[in-house]
Amino acid sequence: MQNPSELFITENPPEATETIRERAAEEIKAAGYRFQAQEHDAEGRDPKTYHTSEHLLALDQRAKHMADALRLLPKQRVVIEMAIAWHDTVIEYDKADPDNLLSLIHRHRGARESDKPKGPQGNEAKSARLLEQEMRKANRLGHKEEIFTEEQIRTASRAIEATYPDVNLGPDFKGATFSKFPYYEAAISQNPDLGSLFDELETQGITKGPLFFQPHLEKPLEDGQKVPREILVVALCDLGAAGSAEKEAFFKEGDDEMRELYANLRQPGVMRRLATGDGETDRMTREKVAATFIGWIDGQPGFAAWQALRFEKILYLLKRQNGVTSEEEQALRLQFGRFTDNIRAARDRADKLKTGFEETKSTRGDRAAFVYLAQNLHCQT
């Protein structure tokens, strides 16, 4: 892993402290983007398909809207921008098994001692430490002027730590059940439209899904602790596009994450061989990969449904401690108001792609059906 780019901050001119801080934060933010590109973009050391600079840009835009909704001060906004720029700079992982085409990578997640699998040596912890180093370097180069306070440095680190995700896949590893969520009744009471949606999903057999959650945001709120708004914004922005973007962006974000996890499918020539091979082994492999793709898209409605429940839980806990005004709640609901539409869209997409896959297979053969499915999941064949 390369070292972060050096920052060059000259002696402080006779400007207001806030202006100096904003200028230093902008340089630190730019350094984070350079680091991200050098590590994870298409021309980087270890290219990704989801955790690229595009991901940072999306989060930065979401954060700006949230900061406006919550009427945050400039000194809070700069902390958010720096944390977003650096939150995914370190992405270490166990590589996929080269002898198993459908092997997953396993990221070294972790921010604190209890986190799995790497605790304080995990990606979130290491990314947070890199940002802390940059902020302290800015303070040293600021000479007599303290650019960032200790509180700001700690808040920025905690904001990155709050992006650490844990997961509950249920006792059978097929998903956690929505109705067993301790905050389920509170969620649907707050948002009756969501309750109607879950009734609808239940009639279609969708009662569970993968629950990805953020313990370093949610546990303090559960305990009644005040969470700095900078941390709240960074963590909520990292929820993904399920509630805050149009369905096409939500679909692509999920497809990009799938391709990043199934790294062997991104190896040169693999998808082309799957799309064109005419041997029995090719046919059997296509069948396995297609089943994996279908399993992924089948899981997306449940994934998004859990994120909708989590959003309601977080609002409920904030309101319980008077941590958000009614005007702020409405502004946040407006920004994250696409959950129900995107959950339905993900369900409809899964049904459409499965039907299209089977129809293409019956009329044009398994190779054409595989290409149809792969291309609709943003995979190049």
Q: What pLDDT, on the 0 to 100 scale, is given for residue 15?
A: 55
Q: What pLDDT, on the 0 to 100 scale, is given for residue 8?
A: 42
Same-domain status, 138 and 264: no
Hey, what are 335's tokens?
Answer: 């920004």
How far CA 196 is from CA of 81, 188, 193, 302, 312, in Å, comes to: 37, 8, 5, 15, 15
Q: Of 255, 254, 226, nearest to 242 (Cα)?
A: 254
How many Å is the Cα radius of gyration of the chain?
22
Q: What pLDDT, on the 0 to 100 scale, is given for residue 10?
A: 47
Q: What pLDDT, on the 0 to 100 scale, is given for residue 351?
A: 98
Reported pTM: 0.93
In a domain, 221, yes or no: no
In a domain, 317, yes or no: yes
How far CA 269 is from CA of 13, 158, 260, in Å, comes to: 56, 42, 16
What are the DSSP calls for 60-118, one per residue?
HHHHHHHHHHTT--HHHHHHHHHHHHHTTS---EEPPPTT-TTPPPEE---SSTT-TTT
Q: Which residues contact 283 (CB under 8 A, 6 or more apart)?
A: 277, 366
pLDDT tens sequence across 44-83 = 999 999 999 999 999 999 999 999 999 999 999 999 999 9
Same-domain status, 44 and 191: no
Q: What pLDDT, on the 0 to 100 scale, is given for residue 3?
A: 52
Query: In whole angstroms, what is the distance from residue 72 CA to residue 165 CA?
Result: 25
In a domain, 232, yes or no: no
> What is the domain range of residue 8?
1-164
What is the domain count for the chain?
A: 2
Q: Of 168, 237, 231, 209, nearest to 298 (Cα)?
A: 209
Query: Which residue among 164, 197, 220 closes a domain?
Result: 164
Which parts of the chain register pLDDT below 70?
A: 1-16, 143-144
